[in-house]
Structure 1
Amino acid sequence: MTDSDLDWLSLQAGDGQRVHVYRWLPERDPVAVVQIAHGMGEHAARYDWTARQLNAAGYAVYANDHRGHGRTAHPARLGWMGPDGWNRVVADAGDLTDFIAREHPGLPRVLLGHSMGAMLTQQYLYRYGTKLDAAVLSGSPGMAGRLQSWLSRAIATVERWRLGPESESAVMQKLLFGKSNDAFDAPGATGYEWLSRDAGQVAAYVADPQCGFVLRTGSLCDLFAGAAEAQHQENVLQIPPALPVYVFSGSDDPVHRQEKNLERLLAKYRRHLERVDYRSYPGGRHEMLNETNRDEVVQDLLAWLSAALSNPSGNPATASSPN
């Protein structure tokens, strides 16, 4: 099945941008809705398998291609989100949640963000957290230390000045992912083995022309500014305290720096939120939903969702949804 075979719709953002949205509906009336925010250098159609597993458990699923990605992007400008693009990407996610609320009034709503989508979710939670009943972070980079955060922003700013905001940067490619595959290198390696132990999933990613790119310099600057903003204590305190959050990752995922950055995120969240659960999968890499044990990962996700959504009175979004 190709992405053109999937059910989709187009939403218009406030600035006129058309945002491509995929929709997977279960055969019976849904029990809740899961909104997926994909990562950098990929697209929402890659979550077809995950969406179908959620459908089988009774969940409706929606996922949009972010600006600069997939069918929302111009094919020649992958990685360019536009001026103030990252803030607009986060706002697009809020708009999609509003659309979901109109389509499925009264149903619990969950935002599941992977990698860059987890970074999006970390910002979404303090901007629009009252729209949700639960949130899930997959493959999150966590929260960087001050030096790491400052260096990333400084280098991206220099590259934007040197090349222009709409340009690709080999320096940023190397900075972000140059060492990601070091632990998995072997003869015949593609450079993307860090994503999954499943060679078929890695091969599909490598063969996909809409995968494997890094954001343009201007969009990276916006992203890093947003990531720093999400770490500010005053913003964390804006997240609804009763909102349950589930974080899962592979122990061998290079993006969280041996879980140090995840520990920083979990500590900040647990000081403010009533329920923050974490699961680490031994030997797992970056894309746990495309890993060799993805059936286990999805079953754990479904069990957590069932428990987290079993008490609607404690969930801010459902309580405020129109009848």
Structure 2
Amino acid sequence: MHYQPDWLERPDAARLRVHRWHPDSPPRATLLISHGMAEHAQRYQRLAASCTEEGYQVVALDQRGHGASAACGQLGHFADQHGWRAVIDDLGALLKQVRREQPTLPICLLGHSMGSYISQGLLLQQPAAADALILSGSNAHPPWLSRLARFGASIEGQLRGWQQPALTVERLSFGQFNRQFHPNRTRADWLSRDPLEVDQYLNDPLCGFACSARLWHDLFGGLLEIADPIALQRLPASLPVLIIGGDADPVSAGDGLKKLCRRLQHAGLERVELRLYPGARHELFNETNRAQATQDLLDWLVQALPAATQHQENQNVQA
């Protein structure tokens, strides 16, 4: 595996860090990762290593306000205005760049948590952008709850400042998630059953920070967009979709992943698959059963991207 850092230059002068992991042989397909809230893309290096061993190249972007991209802005803040549109456009620009570089390679978009919502938002704008979609640690957020939470973020932004951390929203989200695992060892027990992974998260200065009221407001607005049943009908019926997560993930408590699966099926998608892992929490690829989850992902990619398999076979013949 070869690691290559890069930058994505955006029209508004933002510089976003891009991480690329290349296999030792010509790639069979691309896995494009959109990470979650209050983390960064380099946390997916272990997953990237497993994927490159199977011939996939992996590309990931530090979202605005996250990871190395936050050096050009504020940690935990997308933008002062139109942040949701900005992060969707960022991901779309990276996807187009990857497509231009290797137009014959299939692309699978993997979004985790917040990244799963951004990925859905992108595909609603560009339905044919990706050849397959994986949603990890996601949820089917009820529209009424998104409206209520967006109103709460708005109040907090007006009272404390839009760029200030939304402490009340934070307490009502992440704080509630952790309560499900009392007695708590740390404030991040909800992420994984693996204490080493939780400690690495807590010791990482680019993880676990509080996000701004504006970011939360942007996010809840985005959740309303991707829940629109009419908009969801834009997605190609043949798009392969894998929904994965732990059945103890508090983000999707109340059968949120099953509801997400039904939401997409009701929109007309014919190739939606759901896999739940008993006892697993929010970060499936940092869980104690991560080896099984990773292998299942790789097995699914072979079925979802048959063109990738054919491409690899052609490369082997040419070699």
Same fold by TM-score greater than 0.5: yes
Corresponding position: 1:273 with 2:269:
yes
Instruction: Give the Cα separation in 2 of the matches to 1:257 and 1:53.
Output: 29
In the TM superposition, residue 76 of structure 1 has moved relative to its aligned partner by 7.7
Q: Does 1:8 align with 2:10?
A: no
Aligned twin of 1:128: 126
User: What SS class does the counterpart of residue 197 from structure 2 fall into?
Assistant: helix
Q: Which amino acid aligns with 1:79?
A: G
By how many angstroms is 1:6 displaced? 4.6
For structure 1, the 5+ residue unaligned runs are: 313-323
Task: Identify unmatched segments of 5+ residues in structure 2.
Answer: 309-319
User: 1:183 & 1:266 partners in 2: Cα distance?
Assistant: 24
Q: Pick one of 207, 210, 221 that aligns with 2:217.
A: 221
**Cα distance in 1 for residues equivalent to 2:210 and 2:302:** 35
Please name the residue that 1:109 is paired with: 107
Decide which of 228, 231, 235 is 1:232's aligned counterpart. Answer: 228
- Change in Cα spacing, 1:223 to 1:75, as seen in structure 2 (3 Å) is same
Instruction: Report if the CA contact (8 A) 1:90-1:123 is conserved.
Output: yes
Out of 65, 77, 80, the position equivalent to 2:77 is: 80
**1:263 counterpart letter in structure 2:** K
Q: TM-score, normalised by structure 1?
A: 0.91
Query: 1:264 deviation in Å?
Result: 2.5
Taking only the aligned residue pairs, the percentage that are identical comes to 39
Runs (4+) off by over 6 Å? none
The answer to whether the Cα contact below 8 Å between 2:14 and 2:72 also exists between their aligned partners in 1 is no
Letter in 1 for 2:83: G
Whether the aligned pair in 1 keeps the contact of 2:124 and 2:235 (CA below 8 Å) is: yes
Measured after TM superposition, the shift of residue 183 of structure 1 is 2.6
Equivalent residue, structure 1, for 2:248: 252
* RMSD, matched Cα: 1.5
Going from structure 1 to structure 2, the CA distance change for 1:275 and 1:76 (only over 3 Å counts) comes to closer
Amino acid at match of 2:158: W
Secondary structure in 1 aligned to 2:231? helix
- Among 273, 280, 284, the alignment partner of 2:280 is 284
C-alpha displacement of 1:223: 1.0
Residue range with higher mean Cα deviation, 106-115 or 70-79: 70-79
How many residue pairs get aligned? The number is: 305
Greater Cα offset, 25-34 or 79-88: 79-88
Task: Find the aligned partners of 2:55 and 2:110 in 1 and give their Cα distance.
Answer: 16
Contact 1:40–1:115 (CA under 8 A) maintained in structure 2: yes
Match of 2:294 among 270, 293, 298: 298
Identify the residue that residue 264 of structure 1 maps to in structure 2. Answer: 259
- Give the match for residue 307 of structure 1: 303
Identify which of 238, 242, 245 aligns with 1:242: 238
Q: Which of 191, 195, 210 is the matching residue for 1:195?
A: 191
What do the CA deviations read for 1:196-222 (whole angstroms, capped 9, x no partner)? 011110000000000002320011111
Normalising by structure 2, we get a TM-score of: 0.92
Contact 1:9 1:20 in 2 (8 A): yes
CA contact (8 A) 2:21 2:48 kept: yes
Q: Which residue identity is paired with 2:305? A: L
In the alignment, the residues of structure 2 paired with residue 135 and residue 143 of structure 1 have an alpha-carbon distance, to the nearest angstrom, of: 16
Query: 238-247 or 20-29: which moved more?
Result: 238-247
Query: Structure 1 CA distance, aligned partners of 2:40 and 2:217?
Result: 21
